[in-house]
Amino acid sequence: MARYILRRLAFSIITLFLLVTVVFLITNVFPSDPGRQIAGPFASQEQVDVLNEQLGTNDPLLNQYGRLLRSSVTFDYGDSFQVGQPVSELLWPALGRSAKLVLYGLVLTVPAAIAAGMFAARRRNTFIDRGIVTLGVASSSIPEFVSGVALQYFIGVKLGWFEVLALAPRGSNLITELKHLTLPALSLLVVYFGYIARMTRAGTIQALDADYTRTATMKGLSTRHVMRRHVARNALQPTVSVVGTQIGYLFSGLIGLELIFNYPGVGRLIYNASTSKDFPLLSAGVILVGIIYMICTLAADLIIAWMNPRARLQVTS
Amino acid sequence: MQVPPPDADGAAAAVEVDAAVAAGDDVIGEAGPITGLAYDMRGERRQAARERRRLLLRRPGFIIGVLIILTWIVCGVGGDKITPSDPLVPNDTSSLSPRAGHLMGTDQLGRDVLSRVMAGARDVLIVAPLAATLSVIAGAFLGLLMGYYRGWVDEILSRLVEVLLSIPVILMALLITATLGSSKIVVIGTVAVLFTPIVTRTVRAAVLSEAQLDYVTSARLRGEKGLFVMTREILPNITPTILVEYTVRIGYAVFTVATLSFLGAGIQPPSPDWGLAVSDTYALIPAGQWWPTLFPALAIASVVVATNLVADSIEAALAA
Amino acid sequence: MSDTAVKTKYALEIEDLQLAYLVRGIPREVLRGVNLHVRPGEAYGLVGESGCGKSTTAYAALRYLPSNGRITGGRILVGGDDVTKMSDKELRLFRAHQASMVYQDPGGALNPTVKIGRQVVEAFTVLGHDRRDSEQEALDALRRVRIADPTRVMQRFPHQLSGGMQQRVVIAMALACNPQLLVLDEPTTGLDATVEAEVLDLVRALRHETDAAILLIAHNLGVIRSMCDRVGVMYAGKLVEEGDAVEVFEQPKHPYTIGLLECLPRHGVRKTQRALYTIPGTLPQIGTPLPTCVFVDRCALADETCRTVVPPVVDVNENSPANRHISRCHHIDRLNQMPEPPEAEVEAVLEGKIVIQMNDLSKTFRQHGNDVPALVGIQLGLGDGETVGLVGESGSGKTTLAKAMLGIYEPDAGSEIKLDEHLLAGKAANRPPEDMRAMQMVFQNPDSALNRTWTVRRILKRTVKKLTGITGEAADTRLETLADALRLSPRHLDMRPRQLSGGLKQRVAIARAFAGDPRVVVCDEPTSALDVSVQAAILNLLSDLQSSESTSYLFISHDLGVVRYLADRIVVMYLGRLQEEGTTDQIFNGPHHPYTEALLSAVPSVDGEPSERIRLSGEIPSPANPPSGCVFHTRCHRFMEGLCDVEEPPVVEIEMGHRIRCHLATTGELAAEPVVAV
């Protein structure tokens, strides 16, 4: 197991290095003039040059690349173009708030989706199974901002059950905070419920059809025991994997949701950075999400390796 | 290079036929002098194709999906020729709630929402399928080459694919459009480029498992060139996989383009695009003005859901 | 006989069992009235081709049916209780306490995520035993199946055990409840012959310790013969013959049984002596309405009566009720009129000119940065029109050798492959078309070997074009000749592989290999996925083609009977090295390499047991880390310490063309007598 973790970590580090390189290439390979973009079309060329000098965008590309690599280790990305504050001081609190939302969304989604998936698998090809599958397909294909506005109107405005805006007043207790976060969290549920439920269903069906489940049944074990001891552990491996990858992807959905529900998280920060061409903040945000993705997939892989000893044999799928 | 699998004992396969028979697979008999089974094979094959079509048509998801998509295509093609009023010009009082004459109300500038929703189909229905098509072509090409030739190029490209997959498409698109500015071309290119690794991974995996089969070895043993093996031998076998991936990609391209437009990084004003419309008006929801936001939002949902239902039905029909 | 008397007499009674699968809502009959009875302690074997319903019967005995399976009639009594009438709870208790099963693929039958210990313990806790006792019982159970170190094995996961060990664990679990009924469904299919022998030995030994009625399903008639007291022959969901195993095998009384047995190459028969018997036609699909006698469409003795009158159940041993031997046939008196297989037209090949010569052929794979030598210094020649049989356990390098010869794997530097005296390029891609067409291959699994999106015509035509350069009308003519030679009818040419049966697919694959008049064809287990009747047809075809085309075969097989029938010479491989090489007679008659001796004695023969049994201990070692000295010394029953583990044995030619790599060969102490009568 230790060897597996080490190899898997090494793999993550290489991926991270490549990620930084890709981000650097995108922001530098195309001819761009950040000074001009920030200063606007009416600024004088001198102002733009001074700005570019300050930003370090005139340095040789290799130096800039080195700087970005170093930043990714120390997580010191310098100052934001726009706000002038260090990027990390902006990112960390926002990340904390987003994490709260994501966690809440996952708590709502994952158990429900797993239950629905297993339920559907055990009633394969019945009406209710087809219903769950079709609902899953439909709901998981709706963009977050679409379900966001719909929930905001129907549940927030029309029914008035939950707060319409996500940020609770300063000093609120947890319950109030959650009440505020419920609508965006439900929007996450709409998208991710379908994914996870379908994955669980597929995994469960595979496990139910497996020879070892037949062995367990033929031993005379009760259905409950068979499901818990023999089916679940194998059936949920794809689910763990998909939850791991989806947490990273959740952050793209957060952008829309944090705008609609006016929540100052990472998503809104990245959005603002992109509209104001704040490249240090934008690059840092993208790399941060990449790192979160890597941590989550790493965690998922480790959990799977713990669940299934055979998975430890290979590093990459 | 990997050690080849040990000489497997094939006797196991003999028993599987039992299962195939149990599943009702039709297997035609050995031609023997006294065989009692005479089949018209061509008829059988046509029947199989018909059966697949029937399976597809019997799925309500497929019918509903196709109808929705057709409706939006009609709207997109018709454009302002078929809308009740001009989608871009204010022609009534602003912010009217839905009523006769304005079935979906008017927006804050007094434009008819129904007309805007109908006309809004055009841009996304051009941009998204085009992006999906490009990504499938590129992904199929790369996936075939990587999966068939393997080697160090494949190693490096696979790593790169993993990296690109580690960042949500929307974030990457924001980064690119922030650098390049947004225009339809940039959006198409960006979505195509960002979807390519996903398609590549799917196709590569399919090619890898296909390339292990003996018919590929057999083709090499008669001196076929790599290009022939990839395009004539392997490609037809993975076409169903690619087809399903293509439909799924179209759905997600709509998803992505709409989201980008919503974030101001996609289709630009004054297009009546749905994502743009939602982004222009969502701030009014808490005040109870829902119609200019919700109708375009539902339009987006309907297209994406419809495409995915179609993809799902095709997949199920191909698996049957 | 009263009802209660029957109850006590039999452990398993299946009475007029009818079972159907629902296919698209339509019930299709699979079992059409099966009757069989097994006494406690008795082993009953069920044989028949794939799809005859033998596995369905076995699973029905524990009422384990696919979701579309329905028992439509009859009853199944185990210890007098009707399994078909049990409630879910009763069924669960019945499976826990009274009946057990051992499955085909032991690797799949064990849960990959649960330690062996826990899985075995579970078989005891389900009986209501408490946890501590169960653990002790699990240890004992593992010891009972001859696992030397049960404590350690309990800590393992299934994938860390070999196939043989996995099957032992499954058997241990099956015996946990001391069942009344033990069903073994192809328990050794997919295992190497050496491992199969081990597992069968174990089951044989355990039979004396339990009173269970054993129902054994196997497609390998040798396994049934060596294990069972009585045997039932199934065809299209009906038992057509049943009786004492030895009697049925020695004096079959149903045309189908006779056909099945005659399909096998037995009693050391060779291709030069006679062709193999084949059963024409194929098993009817499930659910098709059948005539009065289910076998009539394929029977050589059938006449009008067979189609109009239900065949009687004839007891051949009418006079001794204890030894029932029944057959459902109108024509038991005419069984001697069964047609004989034709005399062979195949001539023995003598001293053919060498076509392919491999010198010092080695192949090393790189895996995780380590060198894995898969072939080491192979020295082998194939004569014109000669068949060389290649045998050895899984992982011995048989297929690697074939693929290296064909250039699918590029051999290591220093290896030499000569075709007609000229050196071949290592990689197939670098060989000129003439060399390419000279060597072709028939693969084990025709499903994988044929492109499923191509029609048969396209497959063959493309091959003709690429290998011979013939195009246009000439290619069509060539194609027709080819199809004709392989007995493929024109309608087959326009089909795609999935529309063909396994035998037909394999014929297409053979046609493809012969499309360019090859000098050498590698046959890699070409019949192991096929039923015996189809196998016989394919073997006949191969040997006919060989004699008309004078092609050489490199024939890889795990079935020594088949190899003996077809091969002129045999080569025995172990861990990537040739261990013994000689004519078929030399290999079978001895003196033997100890490994060959073990391989031969592992074969369960349809014609009775070999006199002496040698069992290999342990697993085939990893080629990445081969044992010192003689690579076989770790498993050799004639191991000499200080010699075999130190010094690599020389290859000794003990008689003309009979070479053995063993220290014993130098001293002449090899076992000399023939081990087995395959």
> B16 pLDDT exceeds 50?
no
Give the span between the Cα atoms of C538 and A69, in whole angstroms: 65
Residue C164 counted as domain residue: yes
Residue C676 counted as domain residue: no
Q: Which residues of B touch A266 (CB under 8 A)?
A: none
- Cβ atoms within 10 Å of C146's Cβ, excluding its own: 14
Domain that holds residue C158: 108-178
Min mean pLDDT across B64-68, B100-104, C41-45, C600-604 is at: B100-104
> B60 pLDDT exceeds 90?
no
Q: Which residues does residue C336 pair with via DSSP β-bridges, in sequence order?
A: none
Residue A80 counted as domain residue: no
pLDDT in tens, C88-98: 999 999 999 99
* Shared domain check, A185 and A69: no
Q: Which residues of C touch B213 (CB under 8 A)?
A: 448-449
Residue A48 counted as domain residue: yes
Q: What is the pLDDT of residue A98?
A: 94
Q: Which residues of C touch B12 (CB under 8 A)?
A: 104-105, 189-190
* Shared domain check, C172 and C129: yes
* Shared domain check, C302 and C196: yes
* Shared domain check, C547 and C454: yes
Mean of the pLDDT values across residues A61-80? 78
CB burial string C449-461: b at 16+ within 10 A, e below: bbbebbbbbebbb
Mean of the pLDDT values across residues A91-101? 92
Interface A–C counts its CB contacts (< 8 A) at: 67
**Higher per-residue pLDDT: B144 or C285:** B144
* C349 neighbors C568 (Cβ within 8 angstroms): yes
CATH of the domain at C200: 3.40.50.300
Residue C578 counted as domain residue: no
* Shared domain check, C526 and C629: no
* Shared domain check, C399 and C280: no
Note whether A3 contacts C: Cβ–Cβ < 8 A.
no
What is the full DSSP assignment across C386-424? -EEEEE--TTSSHHHHHHHHHTSSPPPTT-EEEETTEEP
Residue A95 counted as domain residue: yes
Note whether A107 contacts B: Cβ–Cβ < 8 A.
no
* C572 neighbors C541 (Cβ within 8 angstroms): no
User: Of C343, C373, C400, at which residue does a domain stop?
Assistant: C343
Residue C219 counted as domain residue: yes
Note whether B243 contacts A: Cβ–Cβ < 8 A.
no
Name residue C54's amino acid.
K
* Shared domain check, C272 and C215: yes
pLDDT in tens, C108-121: 999 999 999 999 99
> A244 pLDDT exceeds 80?
yes
* Shared domain check, A239 and A113: yes
The domain tally of chain A equals 2
CB atoms A157 and B282 under 8 Å:
no
Q: Extract the runs of DSSP E, i.e. beta strands, from C596-644.
A: none
Q: What is the pLDDT of residue B48?
A: 64
* Shared domain check, A131 and A255: yes
* Shared domain check, A38 and A114: no
**The complex's ipTM?**
0.89
Mean of the pLDDT values across residues C568-597? 93
- Give residue for tokens 């008639």: C221
**Cβ within 8 Å of B, C 82-121:** 104-105
SS3 C341: coil
* Shared domain check, A310 and A234: yes
> B56 pLDDT exceeds 80?
no
User: Of A45, A74, A103, at which residue does a domain stop?
Assistant: A74
Give the span between the Cα atoms of C349 and C388, in whole angstroms: 11
**Cβ within 8 Å of A, B 250-269:** 251-252, 255, 258-259, 262-265
* Shared domain check, A68 and A213: no
Domain that holds residue A11: 2-74
Query: Band of the pLDDT at B47, cuts 50, 70, 90?
Result: low
Residue A299 counted as domain residue: yes
Give the span between the Cα atoms of A226 and A216, in whole angstroms: 6
Residue A223 counted as domain residue: yes
Q: Nearest 5°: phi and psi at C99?
A: -135, 145
Q: What is the pLDDT of residue A32?
A: 65
Give the span between the Cα atoms of C148 and C326, in whole angstroms: 44
Residue A79 counted as domain residue: no
Query: Band of the pLDDT at A30, cuts 50, 70, 90?
Result: low
Q: What is the pLDDT of residue B36?
A: 29
User: Of A41, A74, A107, at which residue does a domain stop?
Assistant: A74
Query: Band of the pLDDT at C348, cuts 50, 70, 90?
Result: low
Q: What is the pLDDT of residue B41?
A: 44
Query: Band of the pLDDT at B39, cuts 50, 70, 90?
Result: very low
> Residue B302 has what DSSP assignment?
H
Min mean pLDDT across A42-46, C345-349, C470-474 is at: C345-349
CATH of the domain at A155: 1.10.3720.10
CB atoms A251 and B294 under 8 Å:
no
CB atoms C444 and B8 under 8 Å:
yes
**Cβ within 8 Å of A, B 163-192:** 163-164, 166-172, 174-180
Q: Which residues of A touch B257 (CB under 8 A)?
A: none
Closest CA to B184 of B257, B250, B77: B257
Give the span between the Cα atoms of C618 and A58, in whole angstroms: 69
Please tell me the distance in Å from C570's CA to the nearest CA on chain B.
17
Length of chain B (residues): 320
Residues 6+ apart with CB under 8 A from C360: C377, C378, C379, C414, C415, C416
* Shared domain check, A116 and A65: no
CB atoms B32 and C534 under 8 Å:
no
- Indicate the Cα dihedral angle C158, C164, C167, C172, nearest 10°: -100
Q: How far is CA A261 from CA A98, A106, A258, in A?
A: 12, 18, 5
> B1 pLDDT exceeds 50?
no
pLDDT in tens, C504-548: 999 999 999 999 999 999 999 999 888 888 999 999 999 999 988
* Shared domain check, C85 and C233: yes
Structural domains of chain B sorted by starting position, each given as residue range(s) with its CATH number in brackets: 1-58 (no CATH), 59-319 (1.10.3720.10)
Is the peptide bond preceding residue B270 cis, with omega within 30 degrees of 0?
Answer: yes
- Give residue for tokens 């991710």: A192
Give the span between the Cα atoms of C256 and C48, in whole angstroms: 9
| Average pLDDT over chain C, rounded to an integer | 90
User: Of A74, A101, A120, at which residue does a domain stop?
Assistant: A74
* Shared domain check, C186 and C117: no
CB atoms C64 and A218 under 8 Å:
yes
Q: How far is CA B109 from CA B89, B92, B113, B116, B300, in A?
A: 9, 9, 10, 12, 22
> B15 pLDDT exceeds 70?
no
Could you say which of B15, B41, B223 has the minimum Cβ distance to residue C466? B223
What is the full DSSP assignment across C510-578? HHHHTTT--SEEEEESTTTTS-HHHHHHHHHHHHHHHHHHT-EEEEE-S-HHHHHHH-SEEEEEETTEE
Q: Which residues of C touch B9 (CB under 8 A)?
A: 189-192, 394, 525, 528, 558
Q: What is the pLDDT of residue C416?
A: 94
- Cβ atoms within 10 Å of A7's Cβ, excluding its own: 14
pLDDT in tens, C544-580: 999 888 899 999 998 999 999 999 999 999 999 999 9
The domain tally of chain C equals 4
* Shared domain check, A167 and A40: no
* Shared domain check, C243 and C307: yes
Beta strand C238-244 with C230-235 is antiparallel
* Shared domain check, C93 and C114: no
Residue A83 counted as domain residue: no
pLDDT in tens, B266-307: 888 888 899 998 888 888 888 888 888 899 999 999 999 999
Q: CA of C176: which chain A residue's CA is closest?
A: A219
* Shared domain check, C185 and C174: no
Q: What is the pLDDT of residue B228?
A: 96
Give the span between the Cα atoms of B242 and B137, in whole angstroms: 10
> C3 pLDDT exceeds 50?
no
Residue A84 counted as domain residue: no
Top-confidence range, A142-146, B214-218, C334-338, C394-398: B214-218
* Shared domain check, A245 and A123: yes
* C150 neighbors C157 (Cβ within 8 angstroms): no
CB atoms C94 and A210 under 8 Å:
no
* Shared domain check, A125 and A34: no
Q: What is the pLDDT of residue C441?
A: 96
* Shared domain check, C131 and C15: no
**Higher per-residue pLDDT: B73 or A138:** B73
* Shared domain check, A254 and A189: yes
* Shared domain check, A212 and A144: yes
Residue C575 counted as domain residue: no
Q: CA of C113: which chain A residue's CA is closest?
A: A308
Query: Band of the pLDDT at C678, cuts 50, 70, 90?
Result: low
Length of chain C (residues): 678
Mean of the pLDDT values across residues A234-242? 92
Q: Which residues of A touch B301 (CB under 8 A)?
A: 141-143, 146-147, 150
**Higher per-residue pLDDT: B145 or A11:** B145
